[in-house]
Structure 1
Amino acid sequence: MDITTDIPDEGMETTPYDYDYLHTPCPNDMVQQFGSSFLPPFYYLVFTFGLVGNALVVMILLRYKRIKSMTDVYLLNLAISDLLFIFSLPFWAYNAADQWVFGKVMCKILSGIYLVGFYSGSFFIILLTADRYLAIVHAVFALKTRTVVYGILTSVIMWGVALSASVPEIIFNTCKMIGSRWRCTSDYSFTTQVNWNQFNTLKTNLIGLVLPIIVMVFCYTKIIINLLRCRN
């Protein structure tokens, strides 16, 4: 639609302006085309390096180093979390390149594996940070608490919390026709009681970004201050 605006000014003629060219929405086809060309190689790259790196961590911890401390427990669980996370990446790569062809059940299963790996990875990064904080800032107290038993206990709790956090998104993830292709994505159309879309988005950002950053900034700030005070 042409929008003509007369701008009155003394001694000047009114001039028609056409603003249609200023705001052009990005075509959805262009977004999908960019995703189908960029995401698959990126996912496969992350999958390759993540599989090799985390598999080596698991092998070294179990075969050579053994599990002798709380730190070892958390490192092992973090590597397992990363392996779960990257296991589903080839499927999402195919989904981005073509469409979802693995069915509704696999959509929920792979979504669950991806989400549990994502949330548990964030939790174990937090636990590793807290472990370093206790070992350096509260060394005496850490002698009693930083044991393998406590490491296993907190790890089991974190896996349970990660699974619980994944349940809402697993429920809403399903096969859905978008445009002319099937996609494994969230479908909130059958619920009107709660805005689950905003809830899940907020939860993902809090667990995956905000909470780890807060814990890491606090703990490492305390660690740096403590190290600067130590002469040895």
Structure 2
Amino acid sequence: MTTSGYSYNNTTYEEREPCTRDGDNSLGSHLSILYYFMFVFSVVTNVLVLVILRRYEKLSTVVNILLVNLVVSSMIFMSSLPFVAVYMQLSYWSFGLVMCKIVFSVHFLGFYSSAFFLTLLMMDRYFAIVHSMPALQGRSRCYAIISCTVVWLISGLACIKPMLLRNTYRHFGTVYCENTLNLTNVDTTMLKKYGFYVQIFVFLIFPLVVISFCYVRIIITIRASKTNNFKAVRVISVIVVLFFICWIPFNIVELLHDGPKDCREAQRLGYALQITRNMAYFYFCISPIFYTFVGKKFQKQFKKLLVKYLPCLGKYISFDLDNRTVLYTAATELSFRK
């Protein structure tokens, strides 16, 4: 960066070259192509999960209530990705002011609620595995519905910030949909602080602490049990490790990106934000798979569905379940249904 000073009316000014973000914006434009594949993949898999749950399972059980809400939040979030992808590729917003507010409010609603429902599912595994039978009374349909209602309420409140701050504006003939600070009758400084603390404490520290605690206790309990189901340990480990790898870096980079910084730092954080954002999006795209298709029981139901609608596949599909490798045991199953 080059600078040159000059004096005007006894006041010294410093002239700087504008900070260009073409590099990370170009990277985001190329990576946004993945959003279309994530959207299609998410719709197909989530609809399939809902069909199997509706056809073969009781939707009134605790885990299935949480799973249905996770699937709904995932689909809400994924519904915004095609609009975001078009915006990033065209570098201008073409859907109007109303859609600007709706798309990004829905985007954050699905994104934040998915993180909470994943946390609730891990908490449910904790009560089912660590406390086993004594905790079943607490794992009732009523508590599941109340928990889901609270999640949607908190996630909805977190969307107040993008709903108010997101606006369209025209700059050199190009329309953008970004956060603006020139709102009347709204203390935008307080609103930004509110959004900062909500994100760091509610959507970063809280899930991190809860999932870490539940994970450690679950692993200790499984290893201490006579079943010693290492497959359950591996599956839970994959879920937790991927959550940390995909969710935590994105939140940290986004928080750093919103703070004060010089041009070079802003460019570096811009690249990091594009990469970590896609990692987080990918995790929430495939997260319902972890709680369904990894289980032998769900795989069997999926095979039944395939054979019913594609009878020609019947001779290639086996329904035998090896009891030694079934994930759904009374103490360690990931989709325990009572």
Q: What range is the shorter-chain TM-score in?
A: 0.7 to 0.9
133, 144, 147: which one aligns with 2:126: 133
How far 1:127 sits from its partner (Å)? 0.6
Tell me if 1:88 matches 2:80. Answer: yes
How far 1:57 sits from its partner (Å)? 1.3
Contact 1:122 1:207 in 2 (8 A): no
The one-letter code of the counterpart of 1:151 is A
Q: Residues 45 and 201 (structure 1 numbering): CA distance in 2 closer, same or farther, change over 3 Å?
A: farther
Residue in 2 aligned with 1:71? 63
Judge which range, 53-62 or 203-212, deviates more.
203-212
The one-letter code of the counterpart of 1:222 is R
Residue in 2 aligned with 1:27? 20
Distance across 1 between alignment mates of 2:137 and 2:102:
40
How far 1:62 sits from its partner (Å)? 1.9
Contact 1:169 1:200 in 2 (8 A): no
20, 32, 38: which one aligns with 2:31: 38
Distance across 2 between alignment mates of 1:108 and 1:148:
34
SS of 1:67's equivalent? coil
1:1-232 alignment to 2 at 5 Å? 27-39=20-32, 41-98=33-90, 99-177=92-170, 181-190=174-183, 194-232=189-227
Distance across 1 between alignment mates of 2:49 and 2:24:
37
1:107-163 Cα deviation digits (max 9, x unpaired): 111112111111111111111011000011112332101122221121112111111
Distance across 1 between alignment mates of 2:44 and 2:153:
27
How far 1:75 sits from its partner (Å)? 0.5
How far 1:30 sits from its partner (Å)? 3.3
The one-letter code of the counterpart of 1:44 is Y
Q: Residues 231 and 31 (structure 1 numbering): CA distance in 2 closer, same or farther, change over 3 Å?
A: closer
SS of 1:183's equivalent? strand
SS of 1:231's equivalent? coil
Q: Residues 208 and 27 (structure 1 numbering): CA distance in 2 closer, same or farther, change over 3 Å?
A: same
The one-letter code of the counterpart of 2:205 is V
TM-score for the superposition, normalised by structure 2: 0.57
The one-letter code of the counterpart of 2:48 is L
Contact 2:100 2:166 in 1 (8 A): yes
The one-letter code of the counterpart of 1:181 is T
Distance across 2 between alignment mates of 1:136 and 1:31:
45
Judge which range, 41-50 or 181-190, deviates more.
181-190
SS of 1:194's equivalent? helix
Q: Residues 2 and 209 (structure 1 numbering): CA distance in 2 closer, same or farther, change over 3 Å?
A: closer
Distance across 2 between alignment mates of 1:139 and 1:178:
60
* Cα-Cα RMSD: 2.4
SS of 1:174's equivalent? strand
Q: Residues 180 and 2 (structure 1 numbering): CA distance in 2 closer, same or farther, change over 3 Å?
A: closer
Q: Residues 205 and 177 (structure 1 numbering): CA distance in 2 closer, same or farther, change over 3 Å?
A: farther
The one-letter code of the counterpart of 1:210 is I
Contact 1:119 1:208 in 2 (8 A): yes
TM-score for the superposition, normalised by structure 1: 0.81
Matched-pair identity in %: 32
Alignment: residue pair count: 211
Distance across 2 between alignment mates of 1:122 and 1:90:
21
What are the ranges of 5 or more consecutive residues in structure 1 without an aligned counterpart? 4-23
Q: Residues 134 and 81 (structure 1 numbering): CA distance in 2 closer, same or farther, change over 3 Å?
A: same
Judge which range, 109-118 or 204-213, deviates more.
204-213
Judge which range, 63-72 or 221-230, deviates more.
63-72
Distance across 1 between alignment mates of 2:171 and 2:116:
33
Contact 2:76 2:110 in 1 (8 A): yes
